[in-house]
Structure 1
Amino acid sequence: MSETVHRLIEQYGLLAVFLGCLAEGETAAILGGFFAHQHVFALWQTFVAVFTGAFLGDTAFFVLGRHFAQTRLVRRFRRKPGFSRAYRLVTDHPNIYVLSNRYIYGMRVLGGIVAGLSGIAPARFVVLNAISAAVWAALFSGLGYVFGAGAQQIIGRALLHHERVLVALAIGLVIFAIAFAVARTLIRRERVRESSAASSG
């Protein structure tokens, strides 16, 4: 079974990393770096897949906000916790917002749509988004590479195929649990902030 899974990772792993990075993507990027350390694919291939997915994903959300503002999907995003605060941030500090938005877990999809709604020039967004995506790709795929080195140090030798799969699964579960807890906390705080603002207003 582990051999079959490993062959699937070898054949379709980079595609999975790319698709995973179209949305939030931290887990996919880290796992891509982990498998790069294990020589399943090259580190530069991981970087390209992560960068391309992150860049195209945010660009698609930007286009959605800019050209499809009246659709039901975008209107639903407008009602999400954090929208008004994100809109103020992108209006006051557009460069910083585009460069840093992808690092706030749970806000990346909303952030791209907000950027599109804000009226930022497309060329400006593309340049800033490319810079942000490149730094993000290097950071998280590099983090996964370090995870791979750490796992190999703990086990003390080159990881076998089934060990790679098990370690990758453990990494994915830990990242998901942390991200879920952080996202819940951020959403709860934003709802409290918006409720306080509404009551005081």
Structure 2
Amino acid sequence: MTETIHGIIEHYGLLAVLLGCLAEGETVAMLGGFFAHQHVFAFWQTLLAVFAGAFLGDSAFFMMGRGFAQTKLVQRISRKPGFNRARQLVTAHPNIYVLSNRYIYGMRILGGIVAGLSGVATTRFLFLNAISAAVWSILFCGLGYLFGLGAEQIVGRALLHHERLLVAFAIGVIVMTAAFVIARALLRRERLRGNQTADADQIGAP
């Protein structure tokens, strides 16, 4: 069974990495870096796949906000917690917003659409998005590569196929758990900010 799974990763892994990085792809990017360390893919190929997925995904979300603002999907997303805060940030600091948005877990889709709804020029967004995607790719692929290096040091030899899969599973569990905790904290903070704003409005009302 492990041989079959490993064969799928070897043959279709880079395509899966690209597709996985179209949205929230931190886990996939780290897995790509890990398998690059294990020589399943070349590291430069992994970086290229992660970069392409990250860049194309955010660009698609931006275009969705720019060209399909009146669709039900965009309207539904605009009602999510954090939308108003994101719109304030992109209005006040557009360059910083585009460069840093992908690093806030749970905000990539929302953030790209907000940027599309704002006055950020398309060429400006694409240029800044390319820089952000490149740095993000190197960071998370590098973390996955280091994870593989550490695992190999612990085992004391090159990892076997089934051991690679176990380490990959561990990476997924760790990253997804951390992302869940961070997302809950951000949502709680956004709700608290909304409650404080509502209280302030009630106090100021005649």
TM-score (norm 2): 0.96
Matched residues in 2 for 1:15 and 1:59: separation?
18
User: Could you tell me the percent identity over the aligned residues?
Assistant: 72
Could you report, residue by residue, the CA deviation over 1:138-182 in whole angstroms, capped at 9, with x for unpaired residues? 000011000000000000000000100111011101111110111
Residue of structure 2 in register with 1:29 after alignment? 29
Residue of structure 1 in register with 2:100 after alignment? 100
Residue of structure 2 in register with 1:74 after alignment? 74
* Structure with bigger gyration radius: 2
SS at match of 1:30: helix
CA RMSD in angstroms comes to: 0.6
Residue of structure 2 in register with 1:57 after alignment? 57
Could you report, residue by residue, the CA deviation over 1:33-57 in whole angstroms, capped at 9, with x for unpaired residues? 0000000000000000000000000
Structure 1 residue runs of 4 or more that deviate by more than 2 Å after TM superposition:
none
Structure 2: runs of 5 or more not aligned: 202-206
SS at match of 2:41: coil
Matched residues in 2 for 1:134 and 1:13: separation?
20
Matched residues in 2 for 1:109 and 1:156: separation?
41
- 2:194 maps to a residue whose letter is E
Matched residues in 2 for 1:119 and 1:61: separation?
15
Asked whether the equivalents of residues 66 and 119 of structure 1 are also in contact (C-alpha less than 8 Å), the reply is no
Structure 1: runs of 5 or more not aligned: none
Deviation at 1:199, TM superposition (A): 2.3
TM-score (norm 1): 0.99
- 1:9 maps to a residue whose letter is I
Worse overlay, 186-195 or 151-160: 186-195
Q: How many residues align?
A: 201
